Structure 1
Amino acid sequence: MELTKICGGLDFPEGPVSMKDGSVILVEIRRKTLSRVHPNGQIDVIANLGGGPNGAAVGPDGMIYVCNNGGFIWTQEEGITRPIGTPDDYVSGSIQRVDPNTGAYETIYDSCEGQPLRGPNDIVFDAQGGFYFTDLGKSNAEYVHHGAFYYAKADGSEIRRVHAPMITPNGIGLSPDGKTVHVAETRTGRVWSYDLIGPGEIAPLPFDMPGRLLTTLPDYQLLDSLAVQADGQICVATLMRGGISVVPVDGSEVTFMAMASDPYITNICFGGADMRDAWITASGTGCLYHTRWPSPGLQLNYNA
């Protein structure tokens, strides 16, 4: 697979969104911005969001909805930038709505049922205009919060916890028919699936299982964000190994696509006329790459 480097100089990029004009909107977590990368590699800051903007998606109103994890402590070693903890000025996580044309933004959620959001991470919209998002939790040298995934309305009127507890839930996506939500857990290397019986409502789970297990990756592989192919297979960014794991939903063998020499390959998104253009964030080295993917990606509900 041939990778083309679109740009470097990004400050821990994540949450890429393919736009109709050929640009890619993404977050720079360490820089605390929502940014736009043009096809020629030019980087423009759309908004300075503070905290730690992490995942992004286009909503039904054309606004960009951002999962903000509240911020990290950072370290750099051997040319790789990575997060290592929670800063002293951390308050909470949040969901922000950003106007991509003006950069104006507002916080629409920072808690659920009186409990603050800890570290919102990845986000996907359904056909009804609501969105699912994961909350990874926060951690330091002494503790790791349990995580969860949520469902919320884009107008700020309703948020509910769909499933908890989870161990560092990160990537989230919907099946092509919209009837299943997939969630990747970072530290367990697992991908779980949940059958939906309504917007933001999953079918009852067996008492002894936290979901339907699709895979557990071997060795020390950590999972990050994900995107779904048009055929339903799940493309999960795989940390430490540095690439994309393609997970079938029928339990068959996982395949691995090696990427750039960066252990922090964090996300993939699809676009283009045939949905085979793939943009991949290499966060540790601050790069955005493009490649032609073997299979078409799933068309998202509100952006090209």
Structure 2
Amino acid sequence: MKANYIRTIYFFALALLSLNLSAQETIVSEGLNYDEHTKGFVPIPAAERLLQHVTATAYYKVTNEGHVLEGAIFDKQGNLFFCDVSARRVMRLTPDKELSTIVTLHELNPGGLAFHQDGRLFIAALDLVSRRGAILAVNSDGTEMQRIITPEAGFMPNDLLFDQHGGLYFTDFKGQSTDPQGAVYYIAPNRSTATLILPGLAMANGIALSADGKTLWVTEFGRNLLHRILLSDATTIAPIGTAVAYHFTGPAPDSMRADADGNLYVAIYGQGRILVFNPDGIPIGQILYPERTAGHHLLSTSLAINPETNDLYGVTSDGDKGNGATIFHAKSFAKGLLR
């Protein structure tokens, strides 16, 4: 009796499986269909759909124009500095949401910002048409501009940061996906010459450094790569110290920041989101911008995490979609680093 019962259940299961396969074959034969995961302007890749996520909220509308924003960074007083790339200006937003222009450039577009230990603000600026760039330094109020690297040096500085010794790392945004001419360089304290750290990059873009200064992160905009570089010292890569930690899908890894726990936050330009990695380069979460599935706020370039809290502020542009340029807010895993 028991054997007959088991046999009946077995054949019933086979019949259901056959019906299910037939239904699937029928759907496939009728053609492909968009589903909840593949519809919309920027579907999240399958490998990243199950990551925990939060949706950021609007914090401050910078302009109604579709200007590209970049280079978000905090100073010691809690002011948020960032670049309006399109208007060639560096902006400051106070905790009370008072916005002002610190400096306006006339020939180059500012993109990356970093504060020196002496309080000066360093600016990575470039021009994509003429393929030239510079690194400039000003006081925090925009006065007394200096040229640290001149356009004649032949670099296209995109992003930059200081280490704990006052040395300056910067990315060189040269090349393209099939012609990797870009690189990462380091300028030692009180020096003017740049030391090559990592060559052969296609449009080297974002750069970040762990709190202990031993792990350097770099994104390749042209080949969608995240590099994890272990350092023996400021200019020496440790043995077996370089690896491609991640390969992004779709457009395109831009600027990034590390938090106090060693996690890495990468703004993805063209997808309206920030992907978060643990210290080994394994994805652990993401921050999504609202209305991204409808094609808005996709030009997410940079972010800053408050060093006193875990408040994260991401800068985005809506391009030609009509919603201007906005700063969004979300909570990160940990506090930011003051760099």
- Same fold, judged at TM 0.5 (above): yes
Report the equivalent of 2:16: none
Report the equivalent of 2:243: 212
Structure 1 unaligned blocks of 5 or more: 73-85
- For residue 123 of structure 2, the aligned residue among 66, 83, 89 is 66
CA contact (8 A) 1:197 1:203 kept: yes
CA contact (8 A) 2:315 2:328 kept: no
Amino acid at match of 1:273: E
Query: How far off its partner does 1:183 sit?
Result: 0.5
Partner deviation per Cα, 1:233-275 (whole Å, 9 max, x = no partner): 210001221110112233534532211431110001111532x
Task: Give the alignment of 1:1-304 within 5 angstroms.
Answer: 1-9=55-63, 11-50=67-106, 51-69=108-126, 71-72=127-128, 86=129, 90=130, 92-110=132-150, 116-117=154-155, 119-137=156-174, 146-153=181-188, 155-204=190-239, 211-218=242-249, 220-260=250-290, 261-271=296-306, 273-274=308-309, 276-285=310-319, 286-301=324-339
Q: Distance in 2 between matches of 1:253 and 1:272?
A: 22
Partner deviation per Cα, 1:213-252 (whole Å, 9 max, x = no partner): 211122x130000001222121000122111011223353
Query: How far off its partner does 1:115 sit?
Result: 5.3
Size of the alignment, in residue pairs? 273
Sort the Cα spacing of 1:167 and 1:91 in 2 relative to 1 into closer, same or farther, 3 A. Answer: closer
CA contact (8 A) 1:246 1:254 kept: yes
Report the equivalent of 1:82: none
Sort the Cα spacing of 1:192 and 1:145 in 2 relative to 1 into closer, same or farther, 3 A. Answer: closer
Between 1:122-131 and 1:39-48, the stretch displaced more is 39-48
CA contact (8 A) 1:14 1:283 kept: no
Structure 1 moving runs of 4+ over 4 Å: none
Q: Distance in 2 between matches of 1:47 and 1:39?
A: 19
- Pairwise CA RMSD: 2.5
Report the equivalent of 2:22: none
Sort the Cα spacing of 1:48 and 1:147 in 2 relative to 1 into closer, same or farther, 3 A. Answer: same
Amino acid at match of 1:181: L
Q: Distance in 2 between matches of 1:91 and 1:251?
A: 31
CA contact (8 A) 1:277 1:290 kept: no
Report the 3-state secondary structure (helix = DSSP H, G, I; strand = E; otherwise coil) of the residue aligned with 1:22. Answer: coil
State percent identity of aligned pairs.
24
Q: State the TM-score, normalizing by the size of structure 1.
A: 0.81
Query: How far off its partner does 1:99 sit?
Result: 1.0
Task: Identify the structure with the greater strand proportion.
Answer: 1
CA contact (8 A) 2:307 2:336 kept: no
Partner deviation per Cα, 1:260-301 (whole Å, 9 max, x = no partner): 431110001111532x11111103455342424231133225
Partner deviation per Cα, 1:86-123 (whole Å, 9 max, x = no partner): 1xxx3621111111224321111137xx8511x21111
Report the 3-state secondary structure (helix = DSSP H, G, I; strand = E; otherwise coil) of the residue aligned with 1:8. Answer: strand
Q: Distance in 1 between matches of 2:135 and 2:314?
A: 23
Q: Distance in 2 between matches of 1:230 and 1:98?
A: 27
Q: Distance in 1 between matches of 2:175 and 2:85?
A: 15
Amino acid at match of 2:89: T
Mark the structure with the bigger radius of gyration: 2
Sort the Cα spacing of 1:294 and 1:157 in 2 relative to 1 into closer, same or farther, 3 A. Answer: closer
